[in-house]
Structure 1
Amino acid sequence: MAADARAATPLPRWAETIRRKYLGGEASMFILHRNVFDEILHGGEFYTVVEFLSEVLLKDNKDTIIVYDPSAGVRYAKRSSSVAAAAEPMGANKPPEEALALIEQEILLRHSAALVITYAGSIAPPGEEHFLAHADRMAAIRLHRWSMSPELESKDNVVFLLTESLAELNGKLVANPRVAAVEIPLPDKDERAGVIRKVDPSIDAQHVARLAEHSAGLRAVQIAQLLTPRQQDTGLGDEQRLALIRSLLGSSPDAVERANKLAAITRGMDTEEIRHLINPAHPLPETDAGDPYAEVIELVHQRKREIIEKECAGLIEFVDARHGLDAVGGVAGIKSELMQVAAAIRAGDRHRVPMGLLFVGPMGTGKTFIAKAFVKESGLTAVTLKNFRSKWVGSTEANLEKVLGMVKALGPIILIIDEGDRSFGGQSEDSDGGTSSRVIARLKEFMSEPDNRGQVLFILMTNRPDKLDIDIKRAGRIDRKIPFFYPDTPEDVESVLKALFGRYKLGSAIDWVAERERTSARLVGYSNADLEALCLLALNLGGEDSTVTVEHFLKAIDDYVPARDAGMLEYMEMLAVFEASRRSMLPARYRDMSQDEFNQRLRHLKNELRL
């Protein structure tokens, strides 16, 4: 596109932030972080970040633009006409210490110069100063000195440091008030829509909007690659691939149009991948059989999950929810509470959506299953945050920032943290150099960001809330605390059993009311997990018949031995009572208990269990 069109196109918000801070004299050194390895669509053309800086943002106001890549050396992206056209004096493949010294001579001699350093974390890495190599310390000091240099600022020169995460860069630079950190975010919905229109102008506006919604969390280059994949040698030519797709679609609606679109986006895929795509085991709920873009959206959805899980180094996992809250037996109060939250999320009523939910109660009460059912009910994307204590070694903070940035880009989203006492419990700083405390502090900061309300909903689950950092549980991070208990009446047990029989298709041969004394009355106090194991045992005792009879079920009751630690389970129940946000959600046996009775019983259990 012509230069006039580029000039007429508004700058991205992050570029406007740089422009404002620079012209206002706030900083002459900038750290650009987060999405620095993407391409930027501006004025109808794609640019890398370095190209955007040198050909768009700086082109008309800097005479000299130098780019330093530690692996490729130094080059001029733009050279002042006053500089001799001889070979570049700074050369290539010099050690960073020498390269930075030569660059310093160059930019201090010139007026109106810019320097862009890629992979800045490899030049000035983080760490305790006395553990860093001499060259790393000197590089960090030199860059820090540049940021404070009146001479550099007076000559209208500017320096850009590019890094994916601020945690990958020396703390001297990140904490320097004369250095401005500017985040380049992942593309928002409008930017994703622009990328989709650019790479495939044939897509109509309705499907551009749907694809833009389903590609949340992806970079522009990844969206372009998904919609216009490169040719790979898979043994299938274009005609063979088109013929295979037509045979799979058969006489389905819009088969010809769908086949042509699929042939374009499946280039490079083998036969089995194409078969799985066209007949997916778990299609999207909104996928319509007659929609020619249904498989395109399904492919984007599948590949997005693969890409994001890989980028986040296995630290998050997408949640597949097969059952809604209608598959949950009993717990009517909990389901009602969660249905209200789901309705507020779907309606976009952010003020009615809590910042976070705490699911608390003994093990086996169905916390995880109900969390997944709530995911399906709400219709939101959900991810599980895995145990970062055991996996985030060395680059912990950098990985955390990557995960949180990805979660925010995917919003509205539900973030599930199971066994929250392991993730947020106390841990000695001596054991990991304070990494865990810094990670927890960052997570707490993220959980309380007001902009996250209605965009990122935390669900924290634990059976030991007494081990949680007390600051995590405050309002503004965890607004509602939902207690879970074992079924304490035969009717409650029957509600759970009916749901389990329906979920596993065990038939309806048992009249629960008529058989109450022999069945559900004997199971009061069993956990949901115990009841599930009992149903499956009854199925096995019935042989090949998939219908469970009362005889099979009674045999299972007699044979099954639940694992019990009565004292600990009661203690976990008392903790759930203590944490509950609403008295109406407590069982009758706890609802009218006085505070003195509760405290006395809790102290007794703690002494008995030696906690």
Structure 2
Amino acid sequence: MADTQTADPLAHYPEWARNLARRYFTKTINQFVLHGNVRDLVRTIDEKDQTAYVPLRQFLSEDLFAGRDVVLFYDRSHGIHFADPASRADFNRALSGYDTIFGTEYAKKMPKDPARVFALLDNYIRLRLADGKRIAVVVDYAETIIPMTEAASYSAEDRTALVYLQKWSHDPILLEADFSLVLITENLTDLNRQFIQSPYNAELEITLPDADQRSSFLDSFLGTGGRRQRYEALSDVPPVALSQNTAGLGYVQLRTILADVIENERRMTFEALSEKKKELIEAEAYGLLEFVETDYTLKMVAGHSEAKAHLRAAADAIRKGRPDVMPMGYLVSGPVGTGKTFLITTFAGEIGIPMVKLKNFRSQWQGVTEGNLEKILTLLRAMNPVAVMIDEADAALGDRSASGDSGVSSRVFGQIAQAMSDTRFRGKIIWFLVTARPDLMPVDLKRQGRAEEHIGLFYPSTREDRVELLEVMMKKTGVRVALSDVPDALLDGERTYSGADMEALLTRAKFRATTDLAEFLAADNGDAAAATPAAEASGAEPTDNAAPGGDGAAPEAAPAEPAPKKPSPAEAEEGTVSGEVLAAVVEDFVPPTYPLQVELQNLVAVMECTSRSMLPERFRGLDREATVRRIEELKRLIGER
């Protein structure tokens, strides 16, 4: 009996609902903002004490606020609507009185705009609270009611809605009465900042379900009868494995996957599940996240031996379940063409966890950029463990002092910086910031506690490194050429070739070999075709010993020139390239050169590297003060301030 009396009546509620109830009982807050996974199902207990999953609106009206006398909903599309007919009838009676007093005709046509709706609600709420009624108001799509915008851009409607909400939040009468106001939005950053920063409301995040919660949902949905049997007969993925491999998905998405198997009889394999998960998450992120998929591993990276050794050790730690030894993030820098993006992409093939790439999440519309980023960060937290690559990070992330864009860049910077420094996700969300100009990035993102490990990549300088790079690029491009036929200018010359340069050279050589063969074959066929018409045009019978003198003696034939050796069509298709062709391409190749910019990118990467052992030998002994002076000189020479 004692256990029954002390049992928590809120125990079956989600964490956010328990927090809402506890905050409400303090009688100091009556406004709550629900954000995050608000379009998903909510776990509850039905009338038969069975686990059920229902939409958020149904959970609020039939469970959390089931004891209220009136539960009404409002959004711009539907206007005011009610949880039950009795509440609707009561409101209509009050509406008739409002029309009589204020000379309106709202009983004939209910308004939908926030200014007039909130005026109606203010009158109705106060009237019914005076009668001892208990009321809950739910405002959905709150970002359309009090959108995030600069104060100078507020419309009269925005100001009116904001004033009503702020007035209700600290009105003593409403705080003492049994009244609650819930606003629902997916992204907190989409709401008016003045409202969000108010101490009189509480923001509660509805998170995506974790593995245990997904497992409970799968057990509830499949049950123990025919539905489970049908799923198990059509799926190679057991329910336990399905719950473990669907991080980042909500209950609705899980139900979609299950229904596709059970109703459409589409067989579920681990490969099909992986593709479906990526499709659903990319759609959920509005196409702003892209999964990095590659068949390459770090074995495909030439040179950079120290960086590869570190990343292999990091991948091993992740596979062993040691996130605590991982850095919060990496800064990967170096001159253009050194394979920064490729290195991180191949790392995705080593770690055994998903890697995503942030696409352009910026928008020209006020508040959309911050909302996009909040959505992405919410998904990343739910998907962990996950690696995140941000290419051209110096341009993508902004900084604290950015101006000229109404503060968007500084707010983006703040969101990213906060996410990167959340130690709860050490080794679970691994950030890779990739840039050729780390000096342009704010110190706040590069400091320890965020991008803790700084890796520098540089052009190959030794013959061994160049040979290794060439072999890797031959595999990548499908070009075959004997190393003994590779010109010394490519492997030992003074000119430095990046991986991008070598890839371009090999592709040109393959193109040259293919086009030379086509021209040779065309010319050969043309000569053979021309010989027959010439003979036919003479009208002479062909003879073995025709002679101009008529004596039948044949003139002495000139010795035939040896035919040039050409690769067979099969060899050309396979990518075989002769040493002569490659030498000609190397001699002709003029890479776009920006020596000052490349030198600057080299030196800033050296200065950023946080491990001396990961620097090439030629950079380890550089005088740092002299290097800083040279960097400043280079910036002046190329016109940077």
Shorter-chain TM-score: what band? 0.7 to 0.9
Determine if contact 1:487/1:524 at 8 Å carries over to the other structure.
no
Cα distance in 2 between the residues matched to 1:474 and 1:73: 49
Q: Secondary structure at the match of 2:606?
A: helix
Q: 1:363 offset after TM fit, Å?
A: 0.2
Q: Does 1:336 align with 2:321?
A: no
Deviations 1:65-97 (A, max 9, x none): 22223322323325889x976856456444332
Q: 1:559 to 1:262 in 2, by over 3 A?
A: farther
Q: Which residue of 2 aligns with 1:225?
A: 256
Which residues of structure 2 form unaligned runs of 5+?
1-7, 46-50, 96-106, 515-571
Greater CA drift, 15-24 or 486-495: 15-24
Q: 1:189 offset after TM fit, Å?
A: 1.8
Cα distance in 2 between the residues matched to 1:578 and 1:86: 69
Q: Secondary structure at the match of 2:575?
A: coil
Deviations 1:162-220 (A, max 9, x none): 11122222223211111000011122222222333333341569722222233222222
Cα distance in 2 between the residues matched to 1:8 and 1:437: 40
Q: Which residue of 1 aligns with 2:264?
A: 264
Cα distance in 2 between the residues matched to 1:150 and 1:461: 53
Cα distance in 2 between the residues matched to 1:65 and 1:13: 22
**Aligned to 1:180, which of 195, 202, 220?**
202
Deviations 1:299-352 (A, max 9, x none): 443233333333333322221222010111121111001111111222221221
Q: Which residue of 1 aligns with 2:295?
A: 322
Q: Which residue of 2 aligns with 1:20?
A: 22
Deviations 1:112-153 (A, max 9, x none): 321111122222223234422222211111111111011111
Q: Does 1:540 align with 2:511?
A: yes
Determine if contact 1:425/1:467 at 8 Å carries over to the other structure.
no
Cα distance in 1 between the residues matched to 2:312 and 2:253: 35
**Aligned to 1:468, which of 431, 436, 441?**
441
Instruction: Report the aligned-residue RMSD.
Output: 2.7
Task: Give TM-score scaled by structure 2 length.
Answer: 0.79
**Aligned to 2:618, which of 569, 589, 592?**
589
Cα distance in 2 between the residues matched to 1:58 and 1:155: 15
Q: Does 1:121 align with 2:173?
A: no
Q: Which residue of 2 aligns with 1:486?
A: 459
Q: Which residue of 2 aligns with 1:107?
A: 125
**Aligned to 1:36, which of 14, 35, 38?**
38
Q: Does 1:51 align with 2:58?
A: yes
Q: Which residue of 1 aligns with 2:219?
A: 197
Q: Does 1:95 align with 2:113?
A: yes
Q: Which residue of 2 aligns with 1:381?
A: 354
Determine if contact 1:54/1:78 at 8 Å carries over to the other structure.
no
**Aligned to 1:421, which of 371, 390, 394?**
394
Q: Indicate the structure (1 or 2) with the bigger Cα radius of gyration.
A: 2
Cα distance in 2 between the residues matched to 1:64 and 1:262: 40
Q: 1:488 offset after TM fit, Å?
A: 0.6
Q: Which residue of 2 aligns with 1:213?
A: 244
Aligned amino acid, residue 211 of structure 1 = L
Q: How does 1:188-587 map to 2 (within 5 A)?
A: 188-201=210-223, 202=228, 203=231, 207-229=238-260, 261=261, 264-266=264-266, 293-294=268-269, 297-389=270-362, 394-425=367-398, 429-507=402-480, 509-511=482-484, 517=488, 519-522=490-493, 525-543=496-514, 544=572, 545-587=574-616
Q: Which residue of 1 aligns with 2:568?
A: none
**Aligned to 2:635, which of 602, 606, 611?**
606
Q: 1:600 offset after TM fit, Å?
A: 4.1
Determine if contact 1:355/1:454 at 8 Å carries over to the other structure.
yes
Cα distance in 2 between the residues matched to 1:585 and 1:575: 15
Cα distance in 2 between the residues matched to 1:115 and 1:390: 32
Cα distance in 1 between the residues matched to 2:474 and 2:200: 65
Determine if contact 1:125/1:170 at 8 Å carries over to the other structure.
yes
Q: Secondary structure at the match of 1:542?
A: helix
Cα distance in 2 between the residues matched to 1:135 and 1:392: 19
Cα distance in 2 between the residues matched to 1:603 and 1:14: 52
Determine if contact 2:76/2:114 at 8 Å carries over to the other structure.
yes
Cα distance in 1 between the residues matched to 2:155 and 2:637: 54
Cα distance in 1 between the residues matched to 2:449 and 2:409: 22
Aligned amino acid, residue 521 of structure 1 = D
Cα distance in 1 between the residues matched to 2:293 and 2:341: 12
Q: 1:228 offset after TM fit, Å?
A: 1.0
Determine if contact 2:211/2:243 at 8 Å carries over to the other structure.
yes
Q: Secondary structure at the match of 1:314?
A: coil
Greater CA drift, 6-15 or 533-542: 6-15
Q: 1:565 to 1:123 in 2, by over 3 A?
A: closer
Q: Secondary structure at the match of 1:138?
A: helix
Aligned amino acid, residue 506 of structure 2 = C
Determine if contact 2:338/2:458 at 8 Å carries over to the other structure.
yes
Q: 1:429 offset after TM fit, Å?
A: 4.9
Q: 1:183 to 1:262 in 2, by over 3 A?
A: closer
Q: 1:569 offset after TM fit, Å?
A: 0.8
Determine if contact 2:361/2:372 at 8 Å carries over to the other structure.
no
Q: 1:16 offset after TM fit, Å?
A: 1.2
Deviations 1:474-531 (A, max 9, x none): 111110000010001111101111122233343463248xx68464113762111101
Determine if contact 2:354/2:387 at 8 Å carries over to the other structure.
yes
Cα distance in 2 between the residues matched to 1:558 and 1:517: 11
Q: 1:77 to 1:520 in 2, by over 3 A?
A: same
Cα distance in 1 between the residues matched to 2:512 and 2:93: 82
Q: Which residue of 1 aligns with 2:156?
A: 134
Q: How many residues align?
A: 544
Q: Does 1:166 align with 2:188?
A: yes
Cα distance in 2 between the residues matched to 1:125 and 1:419: 31
Q: Secondary structure at the match of 1:106?
A: helix
Aligned amino acid, residue 496 of structure 1 = L
Q: 1:62 offset after TM fit, Å?
A: 2.4
Q: Secondary structure at the match of 1:478?
A: coil
Determine if contact 2:302/2:468 at 8 Å carries over to the other structure.
yes
Q: How does 1:53-92 map to 2 (within 5 A)?
A: 53-59=60-66, 61-77=67-83, 87=92, 89-90=94-95, 92=110
Deviations 1:23-48 (A, max 9, x none): 23442110111111211232332211
Q: 1:401 offset after TM fit, Å?
A: 0.8
Q: 1:389 offset after TM fit, Å?
A: 4.2
Cα distance in 1 between the residues matched to 2:377 and 2:63: 30
Q: 1:63 offset after TM fit, Å?
A: 2.9
Deviations 1:353-386 (A, max 9, x none): 1111011100000001001000111122111112
Cα distance in 2 between the residues matched to 1:319 and 1:372: 7
Cα distance in 2 between the residues matched to 1:84 and 1:217: 42
Greater CA drift, 473-482 or 124-133: 124-133
Q: Secondary structure at the match of 1:228?
A: helix
Determine if contact 2:36/2:205 at 8 Å carries over to the other structure.
yes
Which residues of structure 1 form unaligned runs of 5+?
1-5, 230-260, 267-291
Q: Secondary structure at the match of 2:83?
A: strand
